[in-house]
Structure 1
């Protein structure tokens, strides 16, 4: 990812540009159904599968393999100027996307191969502003429960000192494969 700042324009404001690259997300999506969620996410961290493009777009990622445990996932983000809203702090949508990603991945670590999930709801509480220059923050998500059809998790965005910037909870629909009914033998007359 590259960021540049061009010389000031006639209006006096510096032009800023940002360029980033990503890999084909369908490579990992194709491999995911054959692996447990834990194995898939750990493989992603090891570079065996491309990370999702949203991470490159917003500049967040799972940092190390230790950040993926059964029922717990940690994402890392350094607040940057391109995350800003019109009032000079990180946009709430960035918080929500970071938290939703960590929450979903924490739930994914609990699922066997062939089982997927999708977010049903996300509730975010914004407690403090994230700002440029404050250093890296982490979104730490932990599973609360997983049943046959529903999973729940909670998360926090924290800094290195442990200060909490936001909290979130989610409910996800667990999508298990539907097995075709067993063929029945026809009765003989």
Structure 2
């Protein structure tokens, strides 16, 4: 049986221009409130942002077949993408206007297989160190019982725009 997924999105560069004028938290809140477009990745991979505060942005997703790799589990790239999003946005929420970041390194430990039977998963993130040029951030992907499915550590470069 053939399946399909259709996605639509708005120009992500509209929001990127606004990012320069807002603090990281203000920028993320503007997207959450629908004032600025969400990044297309959220639509492509079907992630949602469910919580947002300084230093922590929670992403959730429910595994679907379109997340699968050839052996019937969620592809590691999908798990890496949600953890990278969580670490990056958690850091971004602490940055002042005129600053941004890019991921320098992302290390992911895959601890349990994720399938459609797993149910909804969310990220828990923490900024470990925020320096002048780099930051170290970690995130976990957990289920409703706090079982950890994956853990990531990210090193980010802080940029001045």
Distance 1:56 1:96 in 2: 16
1:142, 1:155 within 8 Å by CA — same for their partners in 2?
Answer: yes
Alignment-derived partner of residue 113 in structure 2: 129
Structure 1 stretches lacking a partner, 5+ long: 1-13, 178-189
Alignment-derived partner of residue 60 in structure 2: 76
Cα deviation digits, residues 28-49 of structure 1 (max 9, x gap): 1010010000111111111111
1:156 paired with 2:143, answer no
Work out which of the two has the higher radius of gyration on C-alpha atoms and give 1 or 2. Answer: 1
TM-score when scaled to structure 1? 0.83
The 5 A counterparts of 1:113-128 are 113-128=97-112
Q: Which has the higher contact order (CA 8 A, sep 6+)?
A: 2
**Residue 176 of structure 1: CA displacement?**
2.0
Structure 2 stretches lacking a partner, 5+ long: none
Cα RMSD of the aligned pairs, angstroms, is: 0.9
Alignment-derived partner of residue 173 in structure 1: 157
The farther-off stretch of 131-140 and 31-40 is: 131-140
Distance 2:119 2:14 in 1: 32
Alignment-derived partner of residue 33 in structure 1: 20
Distance 1:68 1:36 in 2: 14
Alignment-derived partner of residue 74 in structure 2: 90
TM-score when scaled to structure 2? 0.97
Distance 1:145 1:61 in 2: 26
SS of equivalent to 1:76: strand
1:144, 1:152 within 8 Å by CA — same for their partners in 2?
Answer: yes
Alignment-derived partner of residue 21 in structure 1: 8
Cα deviation digits, residues 147-175 of structure 1 (max 9, x gap): 11001100000011111000000000001
**Residue 145 of structure 1: CA displacement?**
1.1
Distance 1:51 1:160 in 2: 26
SS of equivalent to 1:34: coil
1:73, 1:142 within 8 Å by CA — same for their partners in 2?
Answer: no
Point out 4+ residue stretches in structure 1 off by more than 6 angstroms. Answer: none
